[in-house]
Chain A
């Protein structure tokens, strides 16, 4: 099981700024380990962000996103206390869902 995400959601006016830090190795499949073996790809493929029960962002990700990816989004019409739910799934089928409330 992957480590929890860090989600920060702050309200500015009627727009929520959401920043997400995902803990993931994001192996590209290009890298070689010390023994010269290619490290197999292991990366997040899909992610969704929901605010107040509605899907706001549907993202697909490739190998060239950095290790421990950080994503920032802005959502209009959000209210303080709305629940932000972020989920991802990687190419090995590992998944993780975390939530936070808009502050």
Chain B
């Protein structure tokens, strides 16, 4: 009759220990954790879903968010993308490619003096809008530009 209670207690202790371990691991500065990888946002199949996963409901276009991409990319497998945010208190920048199977490419959080800008190289499956989303003071700002791709980057 008490077995359920035992089991519950046991598993509670076990998960407590686990949580403690995770906390201890998170305190170590060199630890990279894939566990907090935002699955909902990264595995969304459309931009709206990815934005929702990021917690970005309402967002406004901003001229202070610069997105530098080539107009035409000869090779969709390597498309250089630069994002620079001049919005005060920008804490994170995410990059999305609208027509990719999974639009969200990357998201970066900046702390301890890192300037809110990033350059990366992305894959584009086809001609698509590239969208940058910056978070500043809890608000979301976007910028977007189209990149024409002559050869896709997700080839089969």
Contacts and interface: CB of A to CB of B under 8 A. Distances in A.
Interface in B103-153: 103-115, 117-125, 153
Interface stretch (B5-13, B16-24, B27-35, B55-63): B27-35
Interface in A51-69: 51, 53-67, 69
B113 A75 contact: yes
Q: Interface majority SS on B: helix, strand, loop or mixed?
A: loop
A85 B30 contact: yes
A74 B112 CA distance: 11
B123 A66 contact: yes
Interface residues of A, number: 47
Contact of A64 (B34, B97, B108, B118): B97
Given A46-B32, A47-B32, A50-B29, A62 B102 contact: yes
B32 A66 contact: no
Range class of the B interface residue count: 35 or more
A51 B108 CA distance: 16
Interface in A25-78: 26, 28, 30-32, 45-51, 53-67, 69-78
A6 interface: no
A53 B23 CA distance: 19
A46 B106 CA distance: 9
Q: Interface majority SS on A: helix, strand, loop or mixed?
A: strand
Contacts of B111: 54-58
A73 B111 CA distance: 12
A89 interface: yes
B113 A77 contact: yes
Contacts of B79: 66
A74 B115 contact: yes
B119 A61 contact: no
A60 B30 contact: no
Interface of B: 29-34, 36-38, 42, 77-79, 82, 97, 100-115, 117-125, 153-156
